[in-house]
Amino acid sequence: MNNDSVSKSALHGDRLATIDTLVFDYDGTINNSIVLYAPAFKKAFDYLVSLTPEYVVEAGYRLDKDWTDEEISQWLGYTKDEMWSTFMPNLPEGIRNRAGQMIGEEMTRLLRAGKSALYTNALETLEMLKNHGYKMIFLSNCSVPYMENHKELFELEGYFDTFACAGAHPGLSKADILKDLIDEGVLKPERSVMIGDRHHDVEAGLSNGLLTIGCSYGFSRPGELEPCDIIIDQFSELKQLFNSKK
């Protein structure tokens, strides 16, 4: 953690000591998802160029555009509807659905080929937190198949008590899904923390009264994490913040 983050964690020390539930975003927080998303996105873009070049140009992109990971990562953490509404809002629904399906299928193929990469010490950190008795919640804007594939590959059920994703709650924001979990008694906001790398995570935590930890190593854009109570530069820093259970 940088000096500012250290001072913030000290400021929230009393509240950190009362935390019993950790709510985690997944992509950009635990999983370095650009490894899968970038090649899948490029494949879908090539498909759109071949099929509907007029819509590609209308959206402001060159037909021969060479996408960088930095450019592509702006959509990580978004729901599929949010992504398409900012990427190519006028694309016909049928073509959009096929391109979206192509992205999902390619990411699954790459995942099963062993191309996925969790952040350094991610599972080790989750195991330590679980062993310390913290309740762990998975909360992502991903689809249900994506969540299930990652659950199987990384045996995430051994770490998380509850799984929730946008694909299982159409039309609801991450903040809405978190509120529903609170209303269902899955967690108490005053004893919980939201951990993530994008503004969806910050908004979900703050709007529901949770302590909020921003992950600077993920895919946030400038200013997105400023409202967070604490900012960490590596996932493993959570071991310092939650090194014992009350």
Per-residue pLDDT tens digits of the chain, which is 246 residues long: 555 555 455 557 788 999 999 999 999 999 999 999 999 999 999 999 999 999 999 999 999 999 999 999 999 999 989 999 999 999 999 999 999 999 999 999 999 998 888 999 999 999 999 999 999 999 999 999 999 999 999 999 999 999 999 999 999 999 999 999 999 999 999 999 999 999 999 999 999 999 999 999 999 999 999 999 999 999 999 999 998 554
Look at residue 96 in the predicted model and tell me its pLDDT. 95
User: Is the pTM here over 0.85, yes or no?
Assistant: yes
Look at residue 7 in the predicted model and tell me its pLDDT. 47
Residue 82 CA to residue 74 CA, distance in Å, equals 11
Q: In the chain, where are the structural domains located? A: 3-32+118-241, 34-112
CATH architecture of 3-32+118-241: 3-Layer(aba) Sandwich (3.40)
- Please give the single-letter amino acid code of residue 15: R
Q: Cα separations (Å) of 143 from 119, 146, 148, 236? A: 21, 5, 9, 26
Residue 231 near residue 225, CB atoms below 8 Å: yes
φ/ψ (deg, to 5) at 43: -65, -45
Q: Which of 182, 235, 224, 223 is nearest to 21 (CA)?
A: 182
